Structure 1
Amino acid sequence: MTETSTGGRFGAALREILADDTAFDRHREANLRPETVEALGAKIRESGVKFIYYMLPTLGSRTVAKVVPAELYERMLKKGIAFHRTALTDLQTSREGELIGGGVDAHEFWGLPDPETFQVLPWDTEVGRIFCTAYDPPHLGAAGGRLVALDTRALFKASMAGFTERTGLELRSGLEPEMTWTGPGIEVISKDDQSPAYQVENLEKMRPVFKKVIGYGQALDFTMIQGDYEDDGQIELNWEYDRSDRTAERMTTYRQICKQVARELGLQASFMAKPYNGKMGNGCHHNLSLWRVGDGDAVNVIEDGRVELHATETARHAMGGMLLHTPGSMLVMASTVNSYKRFWDAGQFAPSGADWGLDTRGVAIRISANGRMEYRLPDASVNPYLSHLYLLAAIEHGLEAQIDPGEPGELSDAANGGTVPNTLGAAIEAFESDEYLMNAMPEELTRIFLQLKRDEWARYCGQITQWEFDQYWEAIP
Structure 2
Amino acid sequence: MTAVDQKTAPSQHTTALDEHRDRNADRATLDAIRAQINEHGVEFIYYQIVTVTGRVVAKVVPARHLERNAIKGVNLHRTAMTDLQSDRHGNLLGGGQEAAEFTALPDLDTFAVLPWEPSMARFLCTVYEPDHRPEVGGQPLPTDSRGLLKRAHAAFQQETGLELRTGCEPEMTWTGPGLEVTPRPGQSPAYSLDLLERTRHIFQSVIRYGQALGLNMIEGDYEDPGQIELNFMFDRAELTADRLTTYRMICRQVAREHGVKASFMPKPTTGAMGNGCHHNFSLWRGDQNMLVEPGRTELHLSELGRHALGGVLAHAAGSMVVMGSTVNSYKRYWDVGQFAPSRIDWGMENRTCTVRLSVNGRLEFKLPDAAVNPYLSHTLLLASIKDGLERKIDPGKPQTGSSHDNDESVFGPLPVTLGEALVAFREDPVVQAALPTELADAYAAIKADEWARFCSYVTDWERAIYEDVLA
TM over 0.5: yes
Aligned partner of 1:303 in structure 2 is 292
Contact persistence 1:30–1:36 (CA under 8 A): no
* Alignment pair present for 1:272 and 2:268: no
Displacement after TM superposition at 1:416 (Å): 4.0
Q: Distance in 2 between matches of 1:417 and 1:108?
A: 42
Which string of whole-angstrom CA distances, capped at 9 and with x for unpartnered residues, describes residues 6-41 of structure 1?
Answer: 9xxxx63x2333212610111111111333332332
Q: Distance in 1 between matches of 2:296 and 2:29?
A: 46
Displacement after TM superposition at 1:273 (Å): 0.1
Residue 422 of structure 1 aligns to a residue whose secondary structure is coil
Which of these residues, 413, 420, 439, is aligned with residue 419 of structure 1? 413
Alignment of 1:193-208 (within 5 A): 193-208=186-201
Q: Distance in 1 between matches of 2:306 and 2:94?
A: 38
Which of these residues, 363, 368, 381, is aligned with residue 353 of structure 2? 363
Residue 190 of structure 2 aligns to a residue whose secondary structure is coil
Structure 1 residue runs of 4 or more that deviate by more than 6 Å after TM superposition: none
Q: Distance in 2 between matches of 1:17 and 1:164?
A: 15
* Alignment pair present for 1:473 and 2:462: no
Which string of whole-angstrom CA distances, capped at 9 and with x for unpartnered residues, describes residues 176-231 of structure 1?
Answer: 01000001111112211211111111111110100100010011111111101100
Q: Which amino acid aligns with 1:248?
A: A
Q: How many residues align?
A: 460
Q: Distance in 1 between matches of 2:342 and 2:133?
A: 46
* Alignment pair present for 1:450 and 2:450: no
* Alignment pair present for 1:91 and 2:81: no
Displacement after TM superposition at 1:44 (Å): 2.2
Which string of whole-angstrom CA distances, capped at 9 and with x for unpartnered residues, describes residues 23-65 of structure 1?
Answer: 0111111111333332332332233211100011111111011
CA RMSD of the aligned region, Å? 1.4
Q: Distance in 1 between matches of 2:106 and 2:358?
A: 39
Residue 130 of structure 1 aligns to a residue whose secondary structure is strand
Q: Distance in 2 between matches of 1:221 and 1:441?
A: 29
Q: Distance in 1 between matches of 2:290 and 2:36?
A: 38
Aligned partner of 2:284 in structure 1 is 291
Aligned partner of 1:391 in structure 2 is 381
Contact persistence 2:346–2:355 (CA under 8 A): yes
Alignment of 1:2-401 (within 5 A): 12=3, 14-20=4-10, 22-293=15-286, 298-304=287-293, 305-401=295-391
Q: Distance in 2 between matches of 1:280 and 1:452?
A: 27
Residue 399 of structure 1 aligns to a residue whose secondary structure is helix
Contact persistence 1:323–1:416 (CA under 8 A): no
- Which is further off, 305-314 or 102-111? 305-314
Q: Distance in 1 between matches of 2:21 and 2:352?
A: 48
Distance 1:278 1:166, change over 3 A: same
Percent identical pairs in the alignment equals: 54
Displacement after TM superposition at 1:409 (Å): 2.0
Q: Distance in 2 between matches of 1:340 and 1:232?
A: 20
Which string of whole-angstrom CA distances, capped at 9 and with x for unpartnered residues, describes residues 337-363 of structure 1?
Answer: 000000111110100111110001110
Which of these residues, 451, 458, 467, is aligned with residue 464 of structure 1? 458
Aligned partner of 1:3 in structure 2 is none
Q: Distance in 2 between matches of 1:309 and 1:460?
A: 44
Contact persistence 2:311–2:393 (CA under 8 A): yes
Aligned partner of 2:406 in structure 1 is none
Q: Which amino acid aligns with 2:288?
A: V
Which of these residues, 399, 412, 415, is aligned with residue 409 of structure 1? 399
Which string of whole-angstrom CA distances, capped at 9 and with x for unpartnered residues, describes residues 361-380 of structure 1?
Answer: 11011001111010001000
- What residue ranges of structure 1 are gaps of 5+ in the alignment? 1-5
Residue 351 of structure 2 aligns to a residue whose secondary structure is coil
